[in-house]
Chain A
């Protein structure tokens, strides 16, 4: 069998990651359950007054999306690092940039995309006005892509460490903050009736920049972690 071309290899890797995830549905379900449970915490902590919740809803939904992304990104490379297949990937002649994109793509499909798709349900539970739901989904679709890319930088740098879990949040949360600012601002703008377009455009610009640059940092991080 001849070696597949870079694009075919990248797609196969993506399929492999998705198959692995589908075989363990709880891994896909966990972030969604986490999302639902943390949403339930806010009315308990802040009080159930509908207008008050509606005011906080953009920020609440975005912070939960960010946290569930953070919690799942830790595991992206871990099992492949432990069983040695990551090392094989680094040794293979395939461009690491594309392979890394396949990992991130799979992570985004099973966390970010799903979260964005179910977020309208939680938005209604938090009394977010109906006209803001479109920009909530759009901002989450774009923003979670950036979050996945940034989270994987942290995952790549800490995958070789025994106690990476707490450290990754310290490394990655400062980088998440700009995404949070523009993501929740987009939803807030839609709530106030002003156009969310500029914020979504900024998120799109961040996503393009992150797709171009983050895989380089992730590839470098993986090489460092495997060499160490």
Chain B
């Protein structure tokens, strides 16, 4: 157990293990994404009220769910960096921020595209949408703060503090559809009790959510590997790797 924990602090080990995880996770993710998309877009019945426009749910909901979860990944990685001064947690936090921002942006964009035919407007200042916009700003704030520091160790700690402060907002975003009267519908998928979505539409959606989680993990690992190489550019193991042609 402890040797595993200590190994986590070693960049070459992390680089190697993340490479071997990616080798099977990446094809699986792509397979799940393609299967989920084809299933959701081509082989489910159209919604009786929204017609075919509801199919964007297969992008919108997974992106939104993983964007929120990604914030916790970033904040927890930041906390680990602050408490145990673990460099790899700092790498993970830095890698998570732009991915989270991209997913939040996708959720907002697909939401706007979905809103036009169903609500008749691209954008409303509704609790859920506004709070997702705040989430985007929180992610961008972390990215901007990291870039502003020249001292990257201090940058990691400052961003960790900022992302921990921002976690206060995340439960508000989750609960915004229940607390405020909102145009946005409440969550359709429930872990306890009956989901308000038909199983034939639910299963491809669950597959897509899983695929997006896997996609987040893949992007996170790839970002971390790139960051590791950049930080350790002057060390022996990176030089050896470069001389061996990048295999490792």
**Chain A interface residues toward B at CB < 8 A:** 153, 157-158, 160-161, 163-164, 167, 170-171, 173-175, 177-178, 214, 217, 220-221, 224-225, 227-228
Is A174 in contact with B141, judged by CB distance below 8 angstroms?
yes
Q: Say which residue of A160, A167, A174, A214 sits within 8 Å of B169 (CB atoms).
A: A174
Chain A's interface: helix, strand, loop or mixed, by majority? helix
Q: In the bound complex, what is the Cα–Cα distance between A228 and B149 (angstroms)?
A: 9
Is B148 in contact with A175, judged by CB distance below 8 angstroms?
no
Residue numbers in A under 8 Å from B145 (CB-CB): 157-158, 167, 171
**Chain B interface residues toward A at CB < 8 A:** 82, 130, 134, 137-138, 140-141, 144-145, 148-149, 151, 153-154, 157-158, 161-162, 164-166, 168-169, 172
Q: List 27 A-B contacts (CB under 8 A).
A: A153-B161, A153-B165, A157-B145, A158-B145, A160-B154, A163-B148, A164-B148, A170-B144, A171-B162, A174-B134, A174-B166, A175-B166, A175-B169, A177-B130, A177-B134, A178-B169, A178-B172, A214-B165, A217-B161, A220-B157, A220-B161, A221-B158, A221-B161, A224-B161, A227-B154, A228-B151, A228-B154
Q: Say which residue of B140, B144, B154, B164 sits within 8 Å of A224 (CB atoms).
A: B154
Residue numbers in A under 8 Å from B153 (CB-CB): 228
- Give 13 A-B pairs besides A157-B162, A221-B158 with Cβ atoms closer than 8 angstroms: A160-B154, A161-B148, A167-B145, A170-B137, A171-B144, A174-B137, A177-B130, A178-B169, A178-B172, A220-B82, A224-B158, A224-B161, A227-B154
Is B151 in contact with A171, judged by CB distance below 8 angstroms?
no
What is the minimal beta-carbon distance from A21 to any residue of chain B, in angstroms?
Answer: 26
Q: Say which residue of B134, B161, B172 sits within 8 Å of A157 (CB atoms).
A: B161
Residue numbers in B under 8 Å from A164 (CB-CB): 148
Q: In the bound complex, what is the Cα–Cα distance between A225 and B134 (angstroms)?
A: 25
Q: In the bound complex, what is the Cα–Cα distance between A167 and B144 (angstroms)?
A: 7
Q: In the bound complex, what is the Cα–Cα distance between A228 and B100 (angstroms)?
A: 27
**Cβ-closest chain B residue relative to A228:** B154
Q: In the bound complex, what is the Cα–Cα distance between A217 and B161 (angstroms)?
A: 6
**Cβ-closest chain A residue relative to B165:** A217
Max chain B C-beta neighbours (<10 A), residue from A171, A173, A175: A171
Q: In the bound complex, what is the Cα–Cα distance between A227 and B155 (angstroms)?
A: 11
Q: Do A217 and B164 contact each other (CB < 8 Å), given the known contacts A157-B158, A227-B154?
A: yes
What is the minimal beta-carbon distance from A215 to any residue of chain B, in angstroms?
Answer: 12
Q: Do A174 and B172 contact each other (CB < 8 Å), given the known contacts A220-B161, A224-B157?
A: no
Q: Which 10 A-B pairs have the closest CB atoms?
A: A228-B154, A174-B137, A228-B151, A171-B141, A224-B157, A174-B134, A157-B158, A170-B141, A224-B158, A220-B161
